[in-house]
């Protein structure tokens, strides 16, 4: 995980800066905000998508040519933005509650901090703001339409749209150094990584998403592979597909295909490629564990008990 450990000190500084600013928010939003920031701090807790949200400016520093100060500011803005959009996701995915008032108020303060940092780097006439508008519009479309349009089945790369605003740090970096010719290629590379990251999240969250009725790529693939059925997918059907019929092999192959496409792009960020490989390895290991457990079960319950006791 050199793509993370190499920047751990810088990232810790960025989070301390964010926390110092959040601590100045009005009560009780400062307390709530600090707890929320701590929850997603990859320096303190192993995380998933939070890595790319925080580290992307560092991963593209070499191809973009930005200096250390610019890199730090973009990372800080991305942290504020990450927390803001995570709050939006939490509110959209939860039942109405009295806690929404504080969450939404906190989200707006975080959004203001994000814009404050961006305004230091990009004047109002900068193309940066057009790109930001596009990424957020794509996010809004994705969270609204992914289930209706069945993104993972019809056009899988569109599943990256929900995390699309993270790309603004990369595009911003390229605009700062006038390397706009690299924007499209790096946008596509990041979308590939975000798609595979969403796939890993969808495997981890499939039971919760099934219960909540949230869109999930893995469940969409399982449902699409069923014989025509008028009834909703059940938890038992999903378990059979994952743990007995071996659907994860096809799912992981999607991620492997993504990695091949990423390497073909030659986007210029070895650390972005290494992070994608990290996700791919995790998915491979998940599939191999499922298959190993299945083989042990086929050999008999006692063998399965011995195998799992030894792990």
CA 260 to each of CA 46, 69, 82, 183, 191: distance values in angstroms, whole numbers, following the listed order: 26, 33, 28, 20, 14
Answering whether pTM is above 0.85, one says yes
DSSP code for 124: T
Determine which of 94-103, 159-168, 287-296 has the lowest per-residue pLDDT on average. 94-103
Retrieve residue 298's tokens: 């086929």
pLDDT tens sequence across 224-279 = 999 877 789 999 999 999 999 999 999 999 999 999 999 999 999 999 999 999 99
Cα–Cα distance measured from residue 124 to residue 6, given in angstroms and rounded to the nearest whole number: 34
**Residue 126 zone, left/alpha/beta (φ > 0; ψ -120 to 50; rest):** beta
Environment class of 9 (CB within 10 Å of its CB; exposed 0-12, middle 13-18, buried 19+):
exposed
Average pLDDT, the chain: 93
pLDDT tens sequence across 47-77 = 656 799 999 999 999 999 999 999 999 999 9
Give yes or no for residue 309 having a pLDDT over 60.
no
Retrieve residue 76's tokens: 């800080």
Give the list of residues 6+ apart from residue 174 with CB closer than 8 angstroms, or none. 60, 63, 64, 180, 182, 183, 186
Cα–Cα distance measured from residue 114 to residue 35, given in angstroms and rounded to the nearest whole number: 18
pLDDT reported for residue 230: 78
pLDDT reported for residue 301: 56
pLDDT reported for residue 303: 55
Percent of the chain with pLDDT over 70: 95
CB contact at 8 A, 204 and 242:
no
Q: Stretch 294-310: mean pLDDT, rounded? A: 60
Residue with tokens 């011995």: 306
pLDDT reported for residue 93: 79
pLDDT tens sequence across 174-214 = 999 999 999 999 999 999 999 999 999 999 999 999 999 99
Cα–Cα distance measured from residue 205 to residue 237, given in angstroms and rounded to the nearest whole number: 16
Give the list of residues 6+ apart from residue 142 with CB closer than 8 angstroms, or none. 151, 158, 159, 161, 162, 164
Q: pLDDT grade, residue 152 (50/70/90)?
A: very high
pLDDT reported for residue 111: 98
CB contact at 8 A, 242 and 194:
no
Chain Cα centroid distance, residue 144: 17
Which position has the higher pLDDT, 2 or 99? 2
């Amino acid at each position: 995980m050199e793509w993370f450990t190499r920047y751990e000190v810088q990232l810790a500084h960025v989070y301390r800066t964010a926390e110092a600013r959040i601590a100045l928010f009005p009560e009780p939003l400062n307390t709530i905000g600090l707890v929320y920031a701590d929850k997603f701090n990859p320096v303190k807790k192993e995380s998933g998508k939070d890595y790319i949200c925080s580290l992307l400016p560092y991963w593209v520093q070499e191809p973009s040519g930005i200096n250390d100060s610019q890199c730090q500011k973009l990372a800080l803005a991305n942290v504020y933005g990450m927390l803001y959009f995570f709050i939006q996701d939490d509110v959209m995915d939860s039942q109405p509650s009295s806690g929404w008032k504080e969450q939404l108020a906190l989200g707006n303060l975080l959004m203001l901090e994000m814009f404050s940092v961006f305004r230091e780097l990009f004047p109002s006439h900068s193309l940066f703001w057009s790109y930001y508008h596009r990424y957020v519009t794509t996010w809004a479309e994705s969270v609204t339409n992914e289930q209706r349009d069945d993104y993972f089945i019809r056009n899988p790369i569109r599943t990256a749209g929900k995390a699309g605003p993270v790309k603004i740090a990369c595009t911003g970096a390229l605009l700062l150094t006038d390397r706009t010719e690299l924007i499209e290629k790096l946008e596509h590379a990041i979308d590939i990584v975000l798609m595979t990251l969403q796939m890993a999240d969808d495997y981890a969250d499939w039971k919760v998403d099934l219960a909540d009725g949230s869109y999930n790529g893995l469940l969409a693939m399982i449902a699409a592979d069923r014989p025509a059925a008028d009834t909703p997918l059940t938890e038992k059907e999903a378990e059979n597909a994952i743990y007995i019929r071996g659907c994860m092999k096809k799912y992981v192959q999607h991620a492997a295909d993504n990695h091949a496409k990423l390497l073909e792009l030659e986007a210029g960020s070895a650390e972005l490629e290494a992070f994608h490989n990290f996700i791919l390895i995790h998915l491979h290991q998940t599939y191999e564990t499922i298959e190993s457990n299945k083989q042990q079960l086929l050999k008999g319950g006692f063998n399965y008990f011995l195998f799992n006791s030894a792990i």
